[in-house]
Structures are given as structure tokens and as C-alpha cells.
Amino acid sequence: MAVIVDYDAGNLRSVQRACTEVGLAANISDDPEAIRHADRVIFPGVGAAGSAMKSIRKSGVDVALRQAFGSGVPILGICLGLQISLEFSEEDDQTTLGFLPGKVCRFQLRNPELKIPHMGWNEIELQRRHPLLENIKDGDAFYFVHSFFPEPDNPATIFASTQYESDFCCAAGLDNFFGTQFHPEKSGRVGLGILDRFRHWDGRVAQ
């Protein structure tokens, strides 16, 4: 059974509905024991880094997530779930989980016609292959809504990018963790395909 992590960050029911659509049985839970016993974990979220980290530290979910990552359980981070899986976020100057070396940066836009948050559909460009991006092509569009973006330290952990004035990472991963800045659950059939492949993913990345 998959667990969708509940840490007061919103958007959980839409993720659960999308999982149901692709045949992935997933419960929503904030129970660290449920996360420890899950065979895969989805770490979604819409919200702020500071309040998210406060919530998962208070509940012990941060420890359970680190244990799941360390034991090789497949983990999918979505939006804020990707961001707080890096080491540090400029949002709230927050130390985060540290699955993936790097930081989360605030958009600094020069074009006054571009607004923050970045919201809407953007085409992505693949940087390297990953099992969850199988059948995804350069130019496929996904739905975004965010004011910060991930900046991994190691380019080898960046699997896709997109552009909002300048290029930024929109999919990153290391070992059994993979995260997207975009929302697969809100991205139509192409997004559901990622969740469907996550249903079968063993947490390994072919080299």
C-alpha cells in the first residue's frame, strides 16, 4: 500500500484521486508508522517550507521519511514535497530534509510581465533518462504553481528542466527518491503516466 503524506500542506485528495485513476492504492496519513510500513510513499504539498517542516517535525514524519529513504522505499515528491527534500530553502530560511544535495531558490524575475507565483502549463526539456519519465518527450507540457524552484548541487541529479524567464530544474532525483516541481496529478494523461509508472517503480535508476 502506498501512503500519501499528510502534513497540512494541501492538495492531498487530488493526488489520491489521480492514484486511484491509475490503479495505485494509496491512503492519506500523517502517522509515522504508516509511512515506515508503506511499500511506496508520495510526498506532495502546496504551502510554505517553514510551516511544512514544523508540521513534520512535530509529528515525527520527518524521521519516518528519512527511514523510508534510507531503506530504499520508492518516494515521489511533488512541488513542495520536492522542495523540502533538498537541504535548504530560501523560503523561511529553512533547513530541510536533505535527501538531495542542493537548495531551493526564490524566483528573481526581471520581466515585469511575468508574475509570481509561476502558474500554468509549461513545456519541459529532458536532461537524462529516468524510469518515471519513460515515454515523456521534450515539449510535453505539465502544470506548475510555485514561487520557488529547486537547484540541486549535482547536475547528474537533474532529470528535466523548464523555463520561466530562465531555465530551472523541474524534475530531480537520487536513488529511490524522485521529485517534480510540476503537478503530475493536474497534468492530464501525461502526468497520470508518471503516477502509473511510479506504481511499478522499484526505486532503482539504471545507469
Give the active site residues. 79, 183, 185
Contact 98, 83 (CB under 8 A): no
Three-class DSSP category at 33: helix
Q: What region does 24 belong to: left with phi over 0, alpha with psi -120 to 50, or beta?
A: beta
Q: In what order do the strands lie in the sheet with 148-152?
A: 94-95, 88-89, 102-106, 148-152
Residue 23, number of CB atoms within 10 A of its CB:
9
Three-class DSSP category at 61: helix
